[in-house]
């Protein structure tokens, strides 16, 4: 058996052909293909606007800036996420406070977030950044209600969840990152995620004002919008200090092809998840799936008492499981600056047991059967 990673990209000949034909076109960096990718992505997710960016970290940075986050402001997020979710607020000089996760869904707990907010005076926090961890949708309708009560903004970090959805109280399917409840959604096109562009990200929103601001910040804060008749064709204004966070046409050509395969990819990921669940049911704890949700399954996480033991055992059989994530508040950087937090015992307990098993569309049934066999062998004491 070949070695089995926890995740991997899948590039077809038609992905390659699309990139080659872009290389032969007039545009290499941001050109017409970026706009096509944005349009197709926003249509897929069901958001009004999409802004392609160089990676999701850049997208998170721009999202915080566009929502007005400043030095000394404070945001709340989950400790069980990739560091970029929190770092982006630090780029703006803001403080990052952590609320705990729910121990069955592994998502930021609404109750813990509310408790943290209510332990401080009104106006203490500016925004919340929930994460659709492993691909499981956060109930953004519930977070919106909480955010509105305290006048906070909401960024949905949907990097794990293109194609996932939850069902709101009206019975409507809400795609992750569609921004019907959140102000902004964020996606990543790192090869380990669903859609591979090499590097890449997408910001989604339904607000025209945010869309304009995000587009401008992506390109140095420059706009040609105020061009009037007697200005020359070279005229532009730099209205604020922006960045070069552009995606290229080359990457977008790949992104368009990858996006077209995402629906099938989510179906296959769910097939794999269901096989795992069937094999582990009653024996090994896995992420709970609340009613009305479709988990996009970037990851499949289980919890075991001897996590290090299982990790090492799988490696001896060339199965390269991974751990998602070391809680952010325990990383030296965040430990040292030590902002406040809720009681994070669920996050810490989760981390002591979690391990992510192989989950990607090209994982074969035989490979998966082998993974299941080895996990159960270990859990049952060999």
Ligand X SMILES: *Cc1c(COP(=O)(O)O)cnc(C)c1O
**Torsion 332-120-342-90 (CA) sign:** negative
- CA separation for the pair 240, 220 (Å, rounded): 8
Applying CB under 6 A, the site for ligand X has a residue count of 14
How do 201-205 and 49-53 pair as beta strands?
A: antiparallel
> Is residue 131 a contact point for ligand X (CB under 6 A)?
yes
Residue 112 sits in the site that holds ligand X (CB under 6 A): no
Give the nearer residue to ligand X in terms of CB position, either 131 or 253. 131
Contacts (CB under 6 A) with ligand X, residues 198-227: 201
Are 282 and 61 in contact, with CB atoms under 8 Å apart?
A: no
Would you say 85 or 105 has its CB closer to ligand X? 85
Question: Binding to ligand X by residue 41, rule CB under 6 A?
Answer: no
Site for ligand X, residues 49 to 88, rule: CB under 6 A:
55-57, 81-82, 84-85
Give, as ranges, the residues between 223 and 282 that touch ligand X (CB under 6 A).
none
* Nearest distance from C-beta of residue 5 to ligand X, angstroms: 16
The token duo for 73 is: 């402001």
Q: Binding of ligand X at residue 190 (CB under 6 A)?
A: yes
Task: Identify residues 133-162 at the interface with ligand X (CB under 6 A).
Answer: 157, 159-160
Neighbours of 378 (CB within 10 A): 19
- Taking the complex as a whole, the smallest distance from the CB of residue 362 to ligand X amounts, in Å, to 20
Q: Which two tokens stand for residue 171?
A: 């019975």
Distances (CA, A) of 326 to 77, 188, 315, 348, 359: 14, 20, 19, 9, 19
Q: Could you tell me the CA-to-CA distances from 145 to 149, 151, 342 in Å, in that order?
A: 6, 10, 20
Which two structure tokens, joined as six digits, stand for 54? 């160089």
> At closest approach, how far in Å is the CB of 119 from ligand X?
26
Binder to ligand X among 188, 204, 248, 347 (CB under 6 A)? Answer: 188
Interface contacts to ligand X, rule CB under 6 A: 55-57, 81-82, 84-85, 131, 157, 159-160, 188, 190, 201
């Amino acid at each position: 058996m070949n070695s089995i990673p926890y995740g991997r990209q899948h590039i077809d000949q038609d992905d390659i052909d699309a990139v080659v034909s872009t290389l032969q076109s007039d545009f290499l960096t941001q050109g017409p293909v970026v706009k096509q990718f944005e349009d197709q992505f926003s249509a897929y997710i069901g958001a009004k606007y999409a802004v392609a960016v160089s990676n999701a970290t850049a997208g998170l940075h721009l999202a915080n800036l566009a929502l007005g986050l400043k030095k000394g402001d404070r945001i709340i997020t989950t400790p069980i996420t990739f560091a970029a979710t929190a770092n982006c607020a630090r780029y703006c000089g803001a403080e990052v406070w952590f609320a705990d996760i729910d121990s069955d869904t592994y998502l930021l707990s609404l109750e813990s977030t509310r408790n943290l907010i209510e332990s401080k005076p009104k106006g203490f926090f500016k925004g919340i950044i929930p994460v659709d961890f492993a691909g499981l949708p956060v109930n953004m309708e519930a977070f919106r209600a909480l955010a509105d009560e305290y006048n906070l903004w909401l960024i949905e970090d949907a990097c794990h969840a293109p194609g996932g959805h939850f069902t709101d109280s009206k019975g409507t399917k809400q795609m992750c990152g569609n921004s019907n409840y959140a102000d902004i959604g964020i996606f990543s096109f790192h090869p380990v995620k669903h859609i591979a562009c090499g590097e890449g990200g997408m910001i989604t929103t339904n607000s025209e004002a945010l869309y304009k601001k995000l587009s401008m910040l992506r390109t140095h804060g420059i706009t040609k919008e105020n061009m009037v008749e007697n200005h020359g064709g070279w005229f532009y204004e730099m209205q604020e200090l922006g960045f070069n966070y552009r995606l290229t046409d080359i990457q977008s050509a790949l992104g368009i092809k990858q996006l077209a395969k995402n629906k099938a990819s989510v179906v296959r990921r769910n097939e794999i998840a269901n096989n795992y669940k069937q094999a582990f049911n009653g024996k090994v704890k896995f992420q709970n799936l609340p009613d009305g949700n479709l988990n996009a399954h970037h990851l499949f996480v289980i919890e075991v008492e001897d996590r290090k033991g299982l990790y090492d055992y799988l490696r001896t059989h060339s199965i390269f499981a991974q751990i998602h994530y070391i809680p952010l508040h325990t990383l030296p950087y965040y430990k040292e600056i030590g902002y406040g937090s809720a009681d994070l015992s669920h996050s810490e307990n989760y981390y002591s047991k979690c391990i992510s098993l192989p989950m990607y569309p090209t994982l074969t049934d035989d490979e998966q059967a082998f993974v299941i066999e080895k996990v159960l062998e270990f859990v049952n004491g060999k």
